[in-house]
Structures are given as C-alpha cells and as structure tokens.
A = this chain, B = another copy of it.
Amino acid sequence: MIETIQWIDNRVVMIDQTRLPVEEKYVTCRTYEEVAAAIRDMTIRGAPAIGVAAAMGVALGMLHASEAGLDAQFAAICDTLAKTRPTAVNLFWALERMKRLYDSLRGQPLATIRRRLIEEALRVREEDIEICRTIGRNGAVLIPDHATVLTHCNAGALATAGYGTALGVIRAAVEAGKQVDVFADETRPFLQGARLTVWELQQDGIPTTLITDNMAGHFLKSGRIGCVVVGADRIAANGDVANKIGTYSVAVLAKENGVPFFVAAPVSTLDLSLASGDAIPIEERAPAEVTHVFGQQVAPAGATAANPAFDVTPARYISAIITENGVARAPYAESLARLANRSAMVS
C-alpha cells in the first residue's frame, strides 16, 4: 500500500511522483518552502493531493514560525504556497480553510495554534480519502458492466490522499462486482497515465491497456470504450471543467461517438465564483517537458514548444459530474449550486 502524502514526525512525506514507476522513492519536506517546491516540480500532483499538501505546508510553516509577527508569517507561508500552481482550485480552497481556522484562533497560545493547524491538515487528508470513497460509490452505478473505461491522466490514489476520484469510481465499480477493464491514455508530456495510472491499477489487479493519447479517438470510434471517467482541477459554475491537457479532446471524441463522458471530483474542486471555464487560469509549464522525456531529448536542439498543462472542456460535452454530494447533470448552473450546499451523501 503506497501513501501519497503523510504527516510523520512533524515532517511532510510524499512519494516522488516524478520518479514512479521506475523508482519508489519517498521525499521528506522539512519546511513549507520544500512543500511549495514539491508542488511546483510535481513531486506531488493531482488537484486533491495538492490541496492536502498545501494544508500540511501551512501547518509545517507555522510549526517553525516565531511568536513575533505571526500574522505576517502566516500570510507569507500562504502566499508562497498559493504561487506554486495556478489551475487546481483545491490548493486555494485548502489555504482558505487553513486561514479561516487561523483567524478563529487569534490570541490563543502559539502551541495551541500549531496543534490545531496540524490537526486540521490531518483532517483535510483523512476527509479526502473518505470523500474519494463516497465519489466512488456515487459514480460506480454509472459505469456499465462488462465495459472498458477510458481514463486520461491520473485521477487515482496518487492524485488524492488515497483511493482516487476517477480511479475511485472504477475501483468502486469493481468492488461492486462489475467486470471492468481500463484503457489509460499515457498523458504526455508528464506521462501520468503511463507512469501512475497503469502502476496503480496493476497493483489492484484491474486489467489495463496503455495507449498513447492520440489513440483515444480511434478506440472511441471503434465501439471498444463503454464510458470515459476523468478527474478535474477546477469546475466553473456553468459546469465547464479544467483538467489535464487532452481532456477536452477526449470529451469531444466521446461525444462524437456517443460515449458517456464523466467527471469525478470533490466539491472542493468547484469554483462557483467563475461563471464559465473561460476565466480559469491555465498554467503554462516549461517547454523542456515536451522536448524531453525523462531527460531524453526527443526534438531537435533549439525547438520551440508550447506546454499548456490544462485545457477547458465545455459543459456541453460532459454527461455528468460525480461528487461526494451526489451526481450533477445539465443544466449544471443549477445542479452544481445545489450540490455545493448539500452535505456528503451517507452511504
């Protein structure tokens, strides 16, 4: 059993997702700056996992903060963590949650503040696993039996505190006795599908076929794919979904071929302050991620490359959005607002 992120002896320990599956190496962060660096360089990635890392980063930062100028130190810690990656809203959601707690603790002894912030970060982590299990149960009913499920990127245990969102839905379908196999897009440039999703599903014994991203359309057209399930990094009020680059293409190709396209994400991924996906900031990462694979040069020296890390899938391509509070369907402006204000479904 691998652990994506843990709080051990007042340190944050993460499995290094830049090295998997070739190496299973754990990284220990001793300062909030190290947590920020780990988010930025994708040692840890996946919207919910980044949220947990941010919460733990705040707790770690405050553990080493001094008594004088505590508010300013808290603000600086949050600011550093907020600037790591712009697209996944769970990062900002976690920082906001830690900030609300900190505000409520003002005037308490520093030791109390530290303890409460650590407890809260641990709670964010534990809740995330529970939320994923509930998303899984809510989504499992949507997965056809005896079907092949296509997924993009890694919305699995490694993208969360455990179990996963999209892969949680697949796991729950299997646990419910459905015969499911998976097609996994390799998901260039970072290869989260090839490296992480295939590895996770191998460990669960769920039959998985790796394909390059450009094969997804071919297999959707072939009738081989029963449905698509992906995660999300930010969902606007109208149901537009930002997710790993390539998600939009899969969604269009699914719709063109009459294949249901599902998004699985916690309510913390909703950003109802944005009217549509047009307002979601899209991170542009280093061209070297495209021109090189694991350090191996795959393009001529001096090549120019673009590297948007996410794209936006308009709501019209999405059959349903699966959350811990229930399943939203179009019109999303209404269904998402309703789910955001509901509490998690009791199983």
Contacts and interface: CB of A to CB of B under 8 A. Distances in A.
Interface of A: 21-22, 152, 183, 185-189, 191, 194-195, 198-199, 202, 207-219, 221, 245-246, 248-249, 252-253, 256, 287, 290-291, 293-306, 308, 311
A210 B291 contact: yes
A249 B21 contact: no
Given A185-B214, A214-B245, A252-B256, A191 B304 contact: no
Contacts of A302: 202
Contact of A210 (B198, B202, B217, B290): B290
A212 B213 contact: yes
B215 A246 contact: yes
Contacts of A188: 186, 188, 212-214
B194 A299 contact: yes
Contacts of A253: 249, 252-253
Report the copy number of this chain in the oligomer: 2
What does DSSP make chain A's interface, helix, strand, loop or mixed? Answer: mixed
Nearest to A294: B296
Q: What are the nearest 4 A-B pairs in CB distance?
A: A214-B246, A217-B249, A188-B212, A21-B300
A254 to B, nearest CB: 10
A306 B214 contact: no
A304 B185 contact: no
Given A199-B300, A210-B304, A211-B290, 14 more contacts: A21-B300, A186-B299, A188-B212, A194-B303, A198-B303, A209-B306, A211-B306, A214-B245, A215-B246, A215-B306, A217-B248, A218-B311, A249-B253, A293-B293
Q: Max chain B CB contacts within 10 Å: which of A219, A221, A295, A300?
A: A300
Contacts of A216: 249
A293 B296 contact: yes
A21 B304 contact: no
A202 to B, nearest CB: 6
A208 to B, nearest CB: 7
A188 B219 CA distance: 16
A189 B185 CA distance: 12
Given A252-B256, A256-B252, A305-B211, A186 B245 contact: no
Contact of A246 (B22, B208, B217): B217
Contact of A202 (B195, B211, B218, B303): B303
Contact of A207 (B210, B297, B304): B304
Contacts of A189: 212
A316 B299 CA distance: 33
A21 B297 CA distance: 9
B299 A217 contact: no
A188 B216 CA distance: 12
A311 B218 CA distance: 6
21 contacts: A152-B214, A186-B290, A189-B212, A191-B298, A194-B290, A195-B300, A199-B299, A199-B300, A210-B290, A210-B299, A210-B305, A212-B213, A212-B245, A214-B245, A214-B246, A215-B245, A216-B249, A217-B311, A218-B249, A221-B248, A295-B296
A302 B203 CA distance: 11
